[in-house]
């Protein structure tokens, strides 16, 4: 007996269970995650965007910010892609329709935008890549396309029409005449207009097309989904860096060949044996590689040590006096239980710690004096080492926490 498919549209304000999903996380993960799209009306009822369009435009003018402008010329169906950073003088001269500004990693630059992330704690935090914010003038779009990762599209201001093709095996050929990866054919199966607070979830590979009905802001909470090629490439690099030069192709069982010019099956078997010597059969080595890999951002931003370094005793005095260590916005953290204790991964580093410390540090965007005191000696050592590496910034009572953005690259 076939099971009735779950609805593709719900209203979270009418749901028995609260939260932006309009259902329990377990039900969402079972019925929708990487399976089918879901439109959630009133996921964030009464939502007011924490960032204004002019602030987003200002951010797109900063060095180190990944920003793009996509324009559509209706006559001839031409698309133009421009890469930031942009000059401030550009924006007043833009037309009143048919263009979109997209800024990546806005959660790293704006603490109010980053405050949305705890609403997505039903997913592993290390799976979340960034919050991209787009401003679109009326008619603005980036064309019909697919993403290779899960994304939550939260309407923050204005209205955007979203069309998707949820049918099996949709056409996925790309247009050869544009720089963007736009679909040659797009035949929508669903058509919705989203208002502020509405959210659309899309699994990887679902064709979709968003067009601004009026000037609007959309927040895209995107997942990090490295390709198999990306994983293998980094893994091989790690293996080569750690390889013992004594591990080589060997043939102590060599017999006289029937043809000295032939690479025979026995030789190929020895090639496989030589390659297998580099395999990560140790789960801890494999886990450490993946922890380092997944906590590095694919963007260029990274934490750097500050010019003025305070001694450990001064830092600990400051924490006792009300100081707080704020994690650098580019420093991703995760942790993993290991054969002995646990490992904390921070921006590509790994540190051996007791599980309680690794869990606490990974979960804390800020560490105050009481948090620090609860850590073991190894945990405190790790925090100080990370502070010295630029992964925390110490703020005292009365300091402007907004200045923390200046530490971002």
1 band by pLDDT with thresholds 50, 70 and 90: low
The pLDDT of 106-129, averaged and rounded, is 96
pLDDT higher than threshold 90 for residue 383: yes
DSSP string, 296-346: S-SSS------SSPPPHHHHHHHHHTT-EEEEPTT--EEEEE-SSSEEEEE
pLDDT in tens, 135-175: 999 999 999 999 999 999 999 999 999 999 999 999 999 99
Q: Which of 78-82, 260-264, 276-280, 371-375 has the least mean pLDDT? A: 276-280
Residue 399's pLDDT band (cuts 50, 70, 90): confident
The closest of 71, 107, 75 to 86, measured between CA atoms, is 71
Residue 407 has pLDDT above 50, yes or no: no
Q: CA-to-CA distance for 15 and 22, rounded, in angstroms? A: 5
For residue 402, the model assigns a pLDDT of: 52
The CA distance from 23 to 256, in Å, is: 69
pLDDT tens profile 55-64:
999 999 999 9
| Overall residue count recorded for the chain in this entry | 409
Percentage of the chain beyond pLDDT 90 is 81
pTM, two decimals, is 0.91
pLDDT(400) > 80 = no
d(CA 26, CA 133): 28
Q: Is the pLDDT of residue 27 over 60?
A: yes
Please, which residues have CB within 8 angstroms of residue 403's CB and are 6 or more apart in sequence?
Answer: none
Q: In the predicted model, is pLDDT for residue 21 greater than 60?
A: yes
Average pLDDT over the chain, rounded to an integer: 92
Q: How confident is the model at residue 309 (pLDDT cuts 50, 70, 90)?
A: confident
pLDDT higher than threshold 50 for residue 354:
yes
- pLDDT value of residue 151: 98
Both tokens of 146, joined, read 């697919």
pLDDT band (50, 70, 90) for residue 280:
low
* Span 103-118, average pLDDT: 96
Domains of the chain: 9-223 (2.60.120.650), 228-286 (no CATH), 312-407 (3.40.366.30)
């Amino acid at each position: 007996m076939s099971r009735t498919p779950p609805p593709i549209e719900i209203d979270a304000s009418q749901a028995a269970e609260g939260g932006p999903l309009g259902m329990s996380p377990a039900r969402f993960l079972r019925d929708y995650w990487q399976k089918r799209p879901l439109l959630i009306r009133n996921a964030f009822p009464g939502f007011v965007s924490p960032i204004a369009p002019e602030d987003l435009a200002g951010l797109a003018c900063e060095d180190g910010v990944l920003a793009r402008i996509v324009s559509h010329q209706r006559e001839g169906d031409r698309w133009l892609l421009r890469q930031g950073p942009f000059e401030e003088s550009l924006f007043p001269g833009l037309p009143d329709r048919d263009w979109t500004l997209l800024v990546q990693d806005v959660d790293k630059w704006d603490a109010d935008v980053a405050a949305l992330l705890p609403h997505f704690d039903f997913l592993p935090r290390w799976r979340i890549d960034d919050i991209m914010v787009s401003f679109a003038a009326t008619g603005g779009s980036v064309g019909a396309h697919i993403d290779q990762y899960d994304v939550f599209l939260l309407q923050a201001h204005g209205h955007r029409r979203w069309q998707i093709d949820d049918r099996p095996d949709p056409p996925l050929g790309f247009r050869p005449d544009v720089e963007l990866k736009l679909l040659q054919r797009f035949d929508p199966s669903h058509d919705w207009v989203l208002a502020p607070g509405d959210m659309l979830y899309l699994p990887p590979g679902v064709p979709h097309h968003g067009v601004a009905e009026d000037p609007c802001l959309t927040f895209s909470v995107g997942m990090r989904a490295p390709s198999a090629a990306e994983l293998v490439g980094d893994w091989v690099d790690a293996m080569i860096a750690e390889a013992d030069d004594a591990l080589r192709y060997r043939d102590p069982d060599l017999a006289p060949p029937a043809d000295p010019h032939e690479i025979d099956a026995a030789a190929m078997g020895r090639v496989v044996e030589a390659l297998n010597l580099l395999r990560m059969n140790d789960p801890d080595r494999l886990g450490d590689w993946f922890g380092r890999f997944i906590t590095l951002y694919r963007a260029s931003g990274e934490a750097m040590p500050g010019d003025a370094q305070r001694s450990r005793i001064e830092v600990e005095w400051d924490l006792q006096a009300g100081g707080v260590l704020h994690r650098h916005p580019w420093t991703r953290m995760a942790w993993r239980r290991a054969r002995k204790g646990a490992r904390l991964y921070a921006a590509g580093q790994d540190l051996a710690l007791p599980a309680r410390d690794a869990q606490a540090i990974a979960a804390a965007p800020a560490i105050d004096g009481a948090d620090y005191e609860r850590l073991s000696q190894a945990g405190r050592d790790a925090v100080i080492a990370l502070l010295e590496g630029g992964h925390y910034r110490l703020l005292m009572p009365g300091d402007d926490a907004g200045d923390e953005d200046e530490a971002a690259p």
